[in-house]
Chains A and B, each alone.
Chain A
Amino acid sequence: MGKRKEVGDIKKEIKKVVSEIVEVPESELKEDADFQDLGVDSMMALEIVATIEKKFKIVIPEEEIPKATNLKKIYELVERLKKKK
Chain B
Amino acid sequence: MQDIKIKKILPHRYPFIFIDKVEEVDLKNKKIICKKKFSISEYFFKGHFPQNPVAPGVLLIESMAQSAIILYASIYPEIAKLKPDYYLGKVSAKFLNPVKIGDVLKIEVKMIKSLKNAGIVEAECFVEDKKVCEGVLSFGVKVNSTSTT
Contact = CB atoms under 8 A, between A and B. Distances in A.
Interface stretch (B31-39, B45-53, B98-106, B114-122): B114-122
Contact of B112 (A41, A45, A50): A50
B7 interface: no
Contacts of A43: 89-90, 118, 120, 138-140
A65 B89 CA distance: 19
B113 A42 contact: no
B90 A47 contact: yes
Contacts, number: 33
A62 interface: yes
B90 A65 contact: no
A44 B116 CA distance: 14
Q: Is the interface of A mostly helix, strand, loop or mixed?
A: helix
A45 B115 CA distance: 10
A50 B140 contact: no
A49 interface: yes
B120 A42 contact: no
Interface string B119-147: 11000000000000000001110000000
Interface string A3-27: 0000000000000000000000000
Contact of B138 (A47, A53, A62, A65): A47
Contacts of B140: 41-43
A33 interface: no
A81 interface: no
Nearest to A42: B118
B19 to A, nearest CB: 22
B80 to A, nearest CB: 17
B112 A42 contact: no
A19 to B, nearest CB: 16
14 contacts: A41-B89, A42-B115, A43-B90, A43-B139, A43-B140, A45-B118, A46-B120, A46-B138, A47-B120, A49-B113, A50-B113, A53-B113, A62-B115, A62-B116
Interface of B: 89-90, 112-120, 138-140
Given A46-B120, A47-B120, 6 more contacts: A41-B89, A43-B89, A43-B138, A44-B89, A46-B119, A47-B90
